[in-house]
Amino acid sequence: MGQLIAADLVHAGAHVITVARNAARANALRARIGSPAANRLSVIPADLSQRADIVTAAKTISDRHDRIHILINNAGAHYSEHRVSADGIEMHIALDYLAAYGLTTLLDRPLRRGRARVVNVASDTLNDTRQLKLAGRPRPATLDLTGIDDLAELNPAAGFAPFEAYARAKLMTVTAGYALARDLATDGVTVNALHPGIVATDIIDDLVPPFLRPVRTLIRRSLLTPAEGAKSATHIATDPAMAGVTGRYFNRDSESTTPPVSHDPTTQRKLLALSRTHFAG
């Protein structure tokens, strides 16, 4: 989906900077865009699960560009087993939350100068962590930061539930986004979050319960295509009707709600403090 978002923006006339861990995928993106439009694409190699790479990527972008008009934070993955990043952070939090938080805050000045639109690609799993929703009430993701002194304490190995860990990281992105939206609004920057729909990406293969994997191909055929998911992100980033709209969460093109904890000022302040400490370390 990230490749399609980048290609759509390039073809719309934007100069796009994409951060890529995999050189082969970056080359595939250039081929998808084709020449001469590919001249408007810059690729920065980085692993966005690592603090040092996030910091370096943000500095490289800031050094080259004094203003940014659009920032789409689309990096994300689902991990079926407990893993930690090079910084000792559980991988869902490292990639699905800290990459977006880090780029948004480290690019603060060029975002403000460009009166940018920031779009965080989230997931509606934050509203319901049940993998099968056949009966019963939704089970929202939780975020209890009481007694937490380091982000490394979240999503521990003991009792690790992959789907809930993924949803919690997405909930963190939305929670921090609400707080950052208020701060950045003073300079005309908007920050919104998006669930692009259930898109047939590699993440879906990891999320399918084991007993349904024999029919995984049929399931994928019923889902949105990556192109359909990408359109929702580019809509929020470019539609004139979205000018000035900030601090919202969208399920595709419709505004929706998130769990009460995401709006709790105490939780927001604690999350931002823990995140600032992580990047100061």
Residue 220: pLDDT band (50, 70, 90) is: very low
- Each residue's pLDDT tens digit, 159-177: 999 999 999 999 999 999 9
CA distances, 190 to each of 66, 73, 152, 180 (Å): 18, 13, 29, 9
Q: Kindly report which listed range (42-56, 158-172, 228-242) carries the lowest average pLDDT score.
A: 228-242
pLDDT tops 60 at residue 208: no
How high is the pLDDT of residue 213? 54
pLDDT tops 80 at residue 39: yes
- Each residue's pLDDT tens digit, 101-142: 999 999 999 999 999 999 999 999 999 998 777 778 999 999
Full 3-state SS string of 51-113: HHHHHHHHHHHHHHCCCCCEEEECCCCCCCCCCECCCCCEHHHHHHHHHHHHHHHHCHHHHHH
Q: Is the pTM of this model over 0.95?
A: no
How high is the pLDDT of residue 229? 73
How high is the pLDDT of residue 131? 77
